[in-house]
Copies of this chain bind each other. A is one copy, B any other.
Amino acid sequence: MKIGILGTGGVGQTIALKLNEIGHSVMIGTRDVSATLANVTPDGYGNPPFSAWHSANPAILLGTFSETASFGEILINATSGHGSIPALEASGEANLNGKILIDISNPLDFSKGMPPSLWVSNTDSLAEQIQARFPSVKVVKTLNTLNSALMVNPSALADGDHHIFVSGNDADAKNAVVGYLKSWFGWKHIIDLGDITTARGTEMFLPIWLRLWGALGTGTFNVKIVQ
C-alpha cells in the first residue's frame, strides 16, 4: 500500500520505518524538501536532524506535503499540532479529498511553560478543526495517547494488553483504520469512542499522560481500560 505521512518528526519517522519494514511504500512529507535536507542541526532533544535519518533510511521517500498527499492512498498526520492545518492546506484539497487521514497530532501549547497545556480543548479539538476545515477527508483520530515506540509495537508492553481509542464520523473509515492498527502494528484492544467530537477526550488525556511521564520517569506506559 502507498502511505503518505505528513511530518518529519519522531512520530513520523517511527511509523514510516515500521510501515516500510512490513512492505508498504512510504513517503514522508515536509513543507520544503531542500530546507529539510539542508538542516543539519540536532533538535531540542539532541536527536539527529531529519537529513541524517533520511540518509540512513533511503527506502523512505521524501516529498513536499502536496507530493506526499498525492502519493498516499491513505494519509497519516504526524505533524505538530500547530503545523497540522497548514500542512494539510499545503497538501492541496484535490490530493486529500475522499482519503482517510489518521490523525495522531495533539494541540500542545509550549508557550506557557512545561508541561505544555493545550491550545484547543474542552468544547473543541484539533481533530474537529481538521474535519471542519476538510469536510471530505475521513479523519480518524487515534494513537495520540501514547509514545511512538509503543504506537508501532504495542506487544512490547504487557504482551499488548492495553488500549488505544478511535474517534471519527465515518464508520467505514474507522473500521478500516482499526484493521490497519491490528495488521500493521499488532494492536489487540481498540475502543471506538464515537464521532470526531470524542477526540476531545483523547486530546485532553495528554495532561495526565504528561504528568504520568513525570511521575513514572518513563514514557513507556499505556492505559488499560479494566472492566
A198: chain B residues at CB < 8 Å are 208, 211
| Distance in Å: Cβ of A38 to nearest Cβ of chain B | 37
| Distance in Å: Cβ of A106 to nearest Cβ of chain B | 13
Count of chain copies = 2
Given contact pairs A204-B204, A204-B207, A205-B204, A226 touches B222 in the complex (Cβ within 8 A): yes
CB-contacts of A162-214 with B (<8 A):
162, 165, 191-194, 198, 200-202, 204-205, 207-212, 214
Q: Per-residue 0/1 for A138-166: is the Cβ within 8 Å of any B Cβ (1 yes, 0 no)?
A: 00000000000000000001100110010
Contact present for B226 and A221 (CB under 8 Å): yes
**A214 CA / B200 CA spacing, docked (Å):** 14
| Distance in Å: Cβ of A126 to nearest Cβ of chain B | 14
**A198 CA / B216 CA spacing, docked (Å):** 14
- Chain A interface extent, by class: 35 or more
Q: Does A55 contact B (CB under 8 A)?
A: no
A192: chain B residues at CB < 8 Å are 215
Contact present for B227 and A226 (CB under 8 Å): no
Contact present for B214 and A208 (CB under 8 Å): no
Residues of A in contact with B (beta carbons under 8 Å apart)? 112, 117-118, 121-123, 157-158, 161-162, 165, 191-194, 198, 200-202, 204-205, 207-212, 214-216, 218, 220-227
